[in-house]
Amino acid sequence: MPSQRKSRNLEDQLCASFFKSVQSLLMYNQIVNPESFKIWHNDNGQRAGRDKTARMIAGARAKRMGVMRGLLDYETIWRDLDGVRKHGFLEAKVGSNGLTDEQEDFFAFCNEENIPCAMFKTVSSGLHIMQQWGIIKPTAIF
């Protein structure tokens, strides 16, 4: 399935560019409370490669270790201007790709629990979401 592989590579590129942009904003003091801000990518076993057997083994191992299907690409914690601890999730998608059923379920859970979650398809849209959540300063330009 070359189109699936190409889509995965494009999503990997989007994630790398997004994370680099967030790191730049942090470096240039554009995060509201940088001392309380963390963001990381949730690894859902993408490192298994092209070999079907290796992917099956990696998938079984990840499942035993508690990997959750549907977990979104990025998780972030921060404090807002009032010092209230926040926690949110972001999902990167490219082209016409949408959420999987498991991701839809996770979105529904987050919405029920008042946990911010969103999907983005460009670096700037991901950064705008973080700005709306109060992570990135309103005056930041990107």
Q: What is the pLDDT of residues 27-62, one digit of tens each?
A: 999 999 999 999 999 976 555 567 778 878 877 887
What is the pLDDT at residue 111? 97
pTM above 0.95, yes or no: no
Q: What's the chain's average pLDDT?
A: 90
What is the pLDDT at residue 69? 84
Does pLDDT of 2 surpass 60?
no
What is the pLDDT at residue 48? 59
Q: How far, in Å, CA of 135 to CA of 91, rounded?
A: 16
Does pLDDT of 23 surpass 50?
yes
What is the pLDDT at residue 68? 82
> Under CATH, which number does the domain 2-44+70-132 receive?
3.40.1350
Q: How far, in Å, CA of 21 to CA of 31, rounded?
A: 12
What is the average per-residue pLDDT within 79-104?
94
What is the pLDDT at residue 22? 98
Q: Which residue has the tokens 């987050």?
A: 110
Do 92 and 14 meet the contact criterion of CB atoms below 8 Å apart?
A: yes
